[in-house]
Amino acid sequence: MPRFRDRRHAGRLLADRLAPLRGQIDLVLGLPRGGVPVAAEVADRLGCPLDVILVRKLGVPYQPELAMGAIGEGGIRIMNDHVVRLCGVTPAEIARVEEVERSTLEERARRYRRGPRRELHGKRVIVIDDGIATGATLKAACEVARGEGAARIIAAAPVATPDVMTKLGAAADEVICLATPPDFAAIGQFYDDFSQTSDSEVIELLDRYRQPAPANTASEVLIPAGGRRLPGRLSVPPEATTIVVFAHGSGSSRHSPRNLYVAETLRAAGLGTLLFDLLDETEAIDRTNVFDIPLLAGRLTDSVRWLIGQPVTKNLSIAYFGASTGAAAALWSAAEQKVAAVVSRGGRPDLAAARLQDVTAPSLLIVGGEDHLVWELNRTALKSLPSGSRLEVVPGAGHLFEEPGALEKVAELAVDWFTSHSGRPPGGTPRPITA
């Protein structure tokens, strides 16, 4: 049975699950009040703005717990015609109920917001609650978002009843829950602290995310490599002393959501990043290039030469972060030139076996505890790597580190490794190593 310490803890775990969606979501919407602390953690992880989505149930006049419809901001009204007919509710009765609920909705909007609500038309949104029991409120919220023109709607919660898909129906394009336990009786049974969320907490969280996000300081660049000019994104925080070059694997690109998440975490820790395509579009069509480790390694080596020649990066230490076949390319390149450190995520160091003994950079090999074959390949490769290198196993994780908390652990390990190994900047002055 899942256990959450509180809503913020549940939100962090849900954010781990949703992390691969970074860059694919425009707005995170929380249902007041309990859904907002959960949604805030997701908004923080995805780098998205946070807002509330306000809905009010329209109850049958003489049986208000029975929903005959729902209303949302912007004049949205959704009716269940079957319930209306079955209960014989007249248009005048519907109008009176809606007038009362609309007044409540507008009062809450004024309380929670200090400006205009965010536009949903054409937006890709995640609608979040702290749990899904009856599903009525979340379904109504998704229908309201649809009515306001949202282009894609994901409904998400830490925990839900097993029949959540039936309850939400087609209201959402996708439903994501961490757990759907068969013994579900009430949302609160899965929380150690399920105390009521206050209006002041909701307002504080909305105020925090109401501020515009910092401008993206990344620069779009073209890397001259192998006679080609390969597109990339370079980001150098003002305090950076090291820049990490990413080596994508298995035909991936600079848009890899997992590497984007790790890169964002590195930048938050003050490290620079360079993500670029190791192959151009015509080369990527030929799958043999994906496994041509010397070719990929040459592209990495060329990227380092380019970095050394740039005024903003010439005095920075340079390190590699490689995934899958990209990790083999990173180690191969590290055998040919001095870099400060290497981190491998789910890597295939066996594909660089001929060069491992020439690597001088301290290397961290990260594998999932359930990725048994790759774990064995990394354990063998570690014997050929320099003293100070290490193998780190993330318990319960598979090859893609999709499990809750797994990718977060990878990023944490990478930050620690890179900040502990700064090395000698190519073309710059030495920096001390503190291992």
Residues 183 and 288 in one domain: no
Q: Which domain holds residue 150?
A: 7-210
Cβ neighbours around 217 below 10 Å, total: 11
Question: How large is the C-alpha radius of gyration of the chain?
Answer: 25
pLDDT for the residue 6: 95
Residues 107 and 223 in one domain: no
Residue 213: Cβ-neighbour burial (10 angstroms; 0-12, 13-18, 19+): exposed
Looking up tokens 């301290």 gives: 362
Q: Is residue 173 part of a domain?
A: yes
255-286 pLDDT, tens per residue?
A: 777 888 899 889 888 899 999 999 887 887 78
| pLDDT at position 215 over 70 | no
406-421 pLDDT, tens per residue?
A: 888 999 999 999 998 8
Query: Are the beta carbons of 348 and 373 closer than 8 angstroms?
Result: no
Q: Is residue 2 part of a domain?
A: no
| pLDDT at position 214 over 60 | no
105-158 pLDDT, tens per residue?
A: 888 888 887 666 677 888 999 999 999 987 888 888 998 898 888 999 999 999
Number of domains the chain contains: 2
Confidence of residue 85 (pLDDT cuts 50, 70, 90): very high
| pLDDT at position 428 over 60 | no
366-386 pLDDT, tens per residue?
A: 999 999 999 999 999 999 999
Residues 162 and 245 in one domain: no
CA 332, distance to chain mean position in Å, is 30
Q: Which of 210, 234, 266 is the last residue of a domain?
A: 210
Residues 308 and 327 in one domain: yes
Q: In Å, how far are 86, 249, 358 from 399, measured between CA atoms?
A: 53, 12, 27
Residue 348: Cβ-neighbour burial (10 angstroms; 0-12, 13-18, 19+): buried
Mean pLDDT of the chain: 87
Work out whether the CA dihedral 310, 312, 316, 321 comes out positive or negative: negative
**DSSP string computed for 101-150:** HHHHHHHHHHHH-SSPPPP-TT-EEEEE-S-BSS-HHHHHHHHHHHHTT-
305-326 pLDDT, tens per residue?
A: 999 998 889 889 999 999 999 9
Residues 255 and 285 in one domain: yes
What is the mean predicted confidence (pLDDT) over 86-111?
Answer: 90
pLDDT for the residue 114: 64
Q: Which of 210, 235, 251 is the last residue of a domain?
A: 210
Residues 369 and 377: their CA atoms lie apart, in Å, by 13
Work out whether the CA dihedral 314, 317, 318, 321 comes out positive or negative: negative
Residues 266 and 320: their CA atoms lie apart, in Å, by 12
pTM: 0.53
Percent of the chain with pLDDT strictly greater than 90: 54
What is the mean predicted confidence (pLDDT) over 207-224?
Answer: 68
pLDDT for the residue 431: 33
| pLDDT at position 332 over 80 | yes
Residues 358 and 393 in one domain: yes
CATH number for the domain spanning 195: value is 3.40.50.2020
pLDDT for the residue 269: 87
Element (H, E) at 307: helix 293-308
Q: Is residue 433 part of a domain?
A: no
Q: Is residue 88 part of a domain?
A: yes
Q: Is residue 336 part of a domain?
A: yes
* Listed range (20-24, 109-113, 231-235, 382-386) with the worst mean pLDDT: 109-113
Q: Is residue 435 part of a domain?
A: no
